[in-house]
Amino acid sequence: MAKSCNSAVLDAALQYLEDNVDRISVCSTQPTTYAEAITTYKLAISSTPTFTGPGAGDGGGSSRKTTVDQEATITVDASGDAQHIALCKSGTSTLLYVTTCTLQGLTAGNTVTIPAWDIELGTPT
C-alpha cells in the first residue's frame, strides 16, 4: 500500500521553524539542550536568522523544504572548531533543530558566515 502526506502537513512543520527560530548558533560540538547551544558549546550566535520557503523540495516526489538564509559576518565569541549549527527559540529556551557543518577553526574576535542551507522533509516511504 502506498504512503502519502499532503504538502500542507510538511509545510506546517517547516513554517513552525520559520515562525519560532530567533537564534542561530555555531557550536563546537552537538548541543542537546538550549543552554548548550547558546552558552556551553557556542562559538558564535546571531539573533537575526531568516528563512525562504517553505516550497518544493529537491528530493523529488512531494518533498518540501525551507532555506535558512545566509548569516554573514557573525562575531566569533570563543575560539574552537565549528562542527554544528543550532536553531533555537529564546523565549521558551527551546533547542529546535541541529545539523552538522563543515569543520572550520574559528578564532575569537573574528567573524564567521553561515552560508544558506536547506531543511528538507521527504515524502513518507
Could you report the per-residue pLDDT of 47-98, keeping only the tens digit for each? 999 999 898 888 766 789 999 999 999 999 999 999 999 999 999 999 999 9
What is the model's pLDDT at position 35?
Answer: 98
What is the pLDDT averaged over residues 112-116? Answer: 98
Residue 1 has pLDDT above 70, yes or no: no
SS3 per-residue string spanning the chain? CCCCCCHHHHHHHHHHHHHHCCEEEEECCCCCCHHHHHHHCEEEEECCCCEEEEEECCCCCCCEEEEECCEEEEEECCCEEEEEEEEEECCCCEEEEEEEEEEEEECCCCEEEECCEEEEECCCC
Could you report the per-residue pLDDT of 22-41, keeping only the tens digit for each? 999 999 999 999 999 999 99
